[in-house]
Amino acid sequence: MIRRRLSLILLTLAGLLVFPLSAFAEGDEFKPVEEFINTYWASFMVGPVEIGISKAVIYLWLAVLVAVGLTLWIVRGGLRTDPKRTQSVVEVLYTFSETNIGQATLPKVAYVRWFPYVASLFVFIWVLNMISFIPLPLDTHNPLWGSIPGLTIYAATSNLSVTLTLTLLTVMISHVEGVRANGFVPYFKSWIPPSPKALLPAMIILEVLSQFLRIISLSVRLFANMLGGHLLIIMCVGFVILLGQVFIAPVTIPVAVAFYIFEWGLVASLQAYIFAMLSGIYIGSAIEPHH
């Protein structure tokens, strides 16, 4: 296991070195921020809305393929009483989601209905974050030779549109479930804590504002952590090219390795957990606002 992880780290760093060196060899200026520009490779218009395929979309498809395909592959012949390594990993993820996310955040009346949602959120975001540290040939800004895309690491969760979409879905579900469980007027009245009449207008404004701040905090937290982590890794490796000094490589490369291990080993999983847990809390608190 340790050898495999070290091999993947070395492969990633090799890939990170390839794309800035290829750009430098062609006389282009290496711009790390270009890695996070989400340009469409192909698109079409549906009314005023442009729909297309981009690097972020490819990573979303990969995450769905891995999360759904791996699960179907494991259960295709039934679960084994003596599980192998892959089944054990899936069982650990399920148990963690059930205990630390579903049971910890959702009330009993909503557990059966909404545990699959928060568990799916956790697994989907976790897979997205984990594959974002694997170098893939999807870098069109710094091609290797000619039109061949270079290797890059990219997190779809470093795209604000992705995290905002997941956040809006959670917020919409929480409000719909709150109204369904409590009624329209009682649910929105539950937002306002008991307070003197003179303070009531200010409390209404603050509570409505707090609902919008949930959207900002939930979406930006995941987006900023993944964007910042990937930028740090790429910048540490790219400093050799940006400064044109090879002698700083013994300093910047170990720093890049340290950031890579920290982001991949801790931040990727932690941010998936926080997002799913807060989603469960928002849905649970909307269903039972007085608990």
The DSSP-derived string for the chain is -HHHHHHHHHHHHHHHHHHHHHHHHTTPPP-GGGGG----SEEEEETTEEEEE-HHHHHHHHHHHHHHHHHHHHHTT---SS--HHHHHHHHHHHHIIIIIIHHHS-HHHHHHHHHHHHHHHHHHHHHHHHTTS-EEEESSS-SSTTPPEEE---GGGSHHHHHHHHHHHHHHHHHHHHHHH-HHHHHHTTSPS--GGGHHHHHHHHHHHHHHHHHHHHHHHHHHHHHHHHHHHHHHHHHHHHT-GGGHHHHHHHHHHHHHHIIIIIHHHHHHHHHHHHHHHHHHHHSTT-
| Res. 165: pLDDT tops 90 | yes
Instruction: Please compute the mean of the pLDDT values over residues 241-261 and round it to a whole number.
Output: 73
Lowest mean pLDDT among 74-78, 88-92, 170-174: 74-78
What pLDDT band is residue 31 in, cutting at 50, 70 and 90?
A: low
pLDDT higher than 60, residue 12: no
pLDDT digits (tens, 9 = 90+) for 193-245: 777 877 888 888 888 898 899 999 999 999 999 988 888 887 777 766 666 66
- Contact yes or no for 262/88 (Cβ under 8 A): no
Residue 163 pLDDT greater than 60, yes or no: yes
Predicted confidence band of residue 26 (pLDDT cuts 50, 70, 90):
very low
26-35, 141-150, 175-184, 232-241: which has the minimum mean pLDDT? 26-35
- The confidence score (pLDDT) of residue 196 equals 80
Mean per-residue pLDDT of the chain: 80
By percentage, how much of the chain surpasses pLDDT 90? 31
pLDDT at 16 over 60: no
- 36-61 average pLDDT score: 80
Q: Give the percent of the chain with pLDDT over 70.
A: 78
127 falls in which pLDDT band (50, 70, 90)?
A: very high
Q: Note the pLDDT of residue 232.
A: 84
What residue spans define the domains of the chain? 2-287
Residue 134 — very low, low, confident or very high, per pLDDT cuts 50/70/90? confident
Instruction: Examine the pLDDT at 25 and tell me if it is beyond 70.
Output: no
pLDDT given for residue 218 in this prediction: 93
**214-245 core/surface letters (b: 16 or more CB in 10 A; e: else):** beeebbebbbebbbebbbbbbbbbbbbbbeee
Q: Is the pLDDT of residue 19 over 60?
A: no
